[in-house]
Amino acid sequence: MLKAAEECSPERGGYKETKIGLLPTGWDVVSLEQITEPSAPIRYGVVQIGPDMPGGVPIVPIKHIRRIGDVVLHRASPKIEGQYKGSRVQGGDVLLSVKGTIGEVGVVPDGFEGNIAREIARIRPKPCCDAQFLSLQIQAPQTQRRIDNLVVGSTRLEFSIHAVRDFMVALPPLSEQRKIAEILRTWDEALKKLTALRAAKKDRFTGLTQQIMGRGGVFPDRWPLKPLSAVASPIRRTSAGDNHPVMTISAKSGFLMQSDKFARDMAGQSVERYTLLHEGEFAYNKGNSKTAPYGCVFRLDRPTALVPFVYFCFALKPGLDPEFYEHLFSAGALNHQLSRLINSGVRNDGLLNLYSEDFYSCRVPIPPIDEQRKIARALTAAKQELALIDDEVEALTRQKRGLMQKLLTGEWRVSP
């Protein structure tokens, strides 16, 4: 696809210096207000939408700004919505989030009729401006950086309506706008297909895991159960002054460098009491989060790491397949037991009230070693499929971002 984009981008014409940077001489720099239909000025939406009312008027929130036609929207009563007739939207309107989460952009699909929430501004482009192009121009990294510089507020961020109206964007001739939007739409469609494929593969992986290992901590009857203390040895070793990476565990991503997860600089902080893990060993982070309310267990995939001493760290005893138990723990197989063991909710430091002896009392299945290995290989292969799709999504996203930088600034020109 990159080759196709480059073939559409012969350099032509001169360039000029503008308020927003170097642009082709044939492009204009205009405010959003200048390219908005006078009969539908830029404005916010409904302040208090009230309870959901069947048959009412659909209200677009920030979280669905890109998926208006694909989701069920909250509906406000006609009486409430009627007070905000001036912010009603129609097909082709460009929506921009301006409060709380700033800079999200969407285009209202044809045939949709409704209104928007207070956190969104509506922009109805004049015929000289293509709605898809304008949405892309606002999404572009260079444009988002300029928006960030205009955001105000400390407790809740806001891109004021006056700043929105005065905000400047680059506007090529209409035919060039449409060609740029067409090229970038190719990347959007590819990303949409890949995202749908990943979702299907993820569902398949989850279903396969549950089919093989059981659901909700209920394991196949043929597998004997033993307490974790019978199959694992706790680890309490320290670093002895050696230099090792300092890591933490994220419920979403597994082991991460501690300096990457936390904004504060970790330099100078003592790791004297941290536990030293070796490759293949496990750690349980009993931190509470929305994605892992009972904590999470991960296996280290690098030579060594130092982890916080509050983690429960352990190594499996010989005769067990660590890869099998890695999948077992990742599937939340201990959650049902942990939910009964955790007492008094969450401590002030965000850690669950769980004692070491309680954790190691959790019972885990012990299938025959050959079955462990067979299951582990099957689940690892399925997981690798997901990782390959993730890599492809990341690559396409980078390509699209680079194309946006080139095309939306006129550095690469297109032939309409």
Give the pLDDT mean for 288-306.
Answer: 90
Residue 10 has pLDDT above 60, yes or no: no
Please name the amino acid found at residue 300: L
- Most confident among 13-22, 91-100, 152-161 (mean pLDDT): 91-100
**Across 250-254, 256-260, 267-271, 387-391, least confident range:** 267-271
Every domain of the chain with CATH number 3.90.220.20 lies at: 29-171, 224-366
Q: Which residue has the tokens 């769980």?
A: 354
Give the residue with greater pLDDT, 156 vs 92.
92
User: How would CATH label the architecture of 224-366?
Assistant: Alpha-Beta Complex (3.90)
Q: What gap in Å lies between CA 17 and CA 155, rounded to an integer?
A: 37
CATH superfamily label, 29-171 = DNA methylase specificity domains (3.90.220.20)
pLDDT for 101: 92
Helix (H), strand (E), coil (C) string for 165-211: HHCEEEECCHHHHHHHHHHHHHHHHHHHHHHHHHHHHHHHHHHHHHH
Q: What gap in Å lies between CA 5 and CA 414, rounded to an integer?
A: 9
| Percent of the chain surpassing pLDDT 70 | 93
pTM to 2 decimal places = 0.76
Q: What gap in Å lies between CA 56 and CA 50, rounded to an integer?
A: 11
DSSP state of 272: T
Give the pLDDT mean for 247-255.
Answer: 89
280 close to 326: Cβ distance less than 8 angstroms: no
DSSP state of 362: -
